[in-house]
Amino acid sequence: MAIHPTAIIDPQAELAASVDVGPYAIIGPGVVLHDDVIIGAHAVVTGPTVIGARTRVHPHAVLGEDPQDKKYAGEDTRLIIGEDNVFREFSTANRGTVQGGGETRIGDGNLFMAYSHVAHDCLVGSHCVFANCASLAGHVEIQDGAVLGGLSGVHQFTRVGRCAMVGGGGMVAQDVPPFTIAQGDRARLFGLNIVGLRRNGYRLPTIQALRAVYRELFNQGTPLRIALEQVREVYADTPEVMEMVDFIETSRRGVCRAVGPEPAIES
């Protein structure tokens, strides 16, 4: 363990033997840091917060502070962070509220660039990217592999689906289905996230099926309820299509509307 002499570590914090804590960092009571966690200079971690192994917290990041919610009255709530995450300079993640289950949870292998923010009661999956200044309101769900562009924002109680992308500056007020791209204020769908699908190893037949389904759901003018029923009948054996259908059918805020036809796929 390497703890700089200027760092302040509360006696009630639990640090693994391999944790590094930089100059002037503050680790509060109720914080648990697992193996090989690195806390940079001037970073602040307040508990109850758990940070998984090999996570790196860069200078001036603040994790586990009180939720920014006027209803919060000092209740004992938590922030749970998985393994292999990176929190860059001035990024923030708040604990939950009792109204939202008392817990903010972040998965594994995420990158939170400078000034990004995860609000109270959010659920962030694994292998997501938050570009600079991307911000979540409370109770947001970001599914695995999603990418939020710089200066983007997500309205409370909204979901961004797996491998979806929100373009830079996008203001998301309705759910973004898996595998799609949304951008603009209030964000609309601009087709499939083809680059993201390829980077995540999806083969051309799956991408073509998703493209056909996207067109059926969003570009044909068919009422969405009817289009979803038709897609279920035709693509019941394609898991990615069923994931998109299930996501849309379980939406409580509705999904973003589409703009224009889905572009052709380059072979």
The answer to whether 44 and 65 are in contact (CB under 8 A) is: yes
Active site residue 161: no
From the candidates 138, 149, 191, 196, give the one annotated as an active-site residue: 138
Residue 146: closest CA among 168, 167, 161, 131: 161
Active site residue 69: no
Residue 189 CA to residue 91 CA, distance in Å, equals: 27
Place of tokens 């309820």: 225
Over the Cα atoms of the chain, what is R_g? 20
What strand order describes the sheet that includes 56-57?
2-3, 20-21, 38-39, 56-57, 86-87, 111-112, 129-130, 147-148, 165-166, 180-183, 188-192
Residue 164 CA to residue 179 CA, distance in Å, equals: 4
From the candidates 121, 144, 149, 170, give the one annotated as an active-site residue: 121
DSSP letters of 32-65? EE-TT-EE-TT-EE-SSEEE-TT-EE-TT-EEEE
From the candidates 42, 120, 139, 155, give the one annotated as an active-site residue: 120
Active site residue 138: yes
For residue 67, say if its preceding peptide bond is cis, omega within 30 degrees of 0.
no
Dig out the tokens for 188 from the structure.
Answer: 């609309």
Q: Point out the residues that are catalytic.
A: 120-121, 138
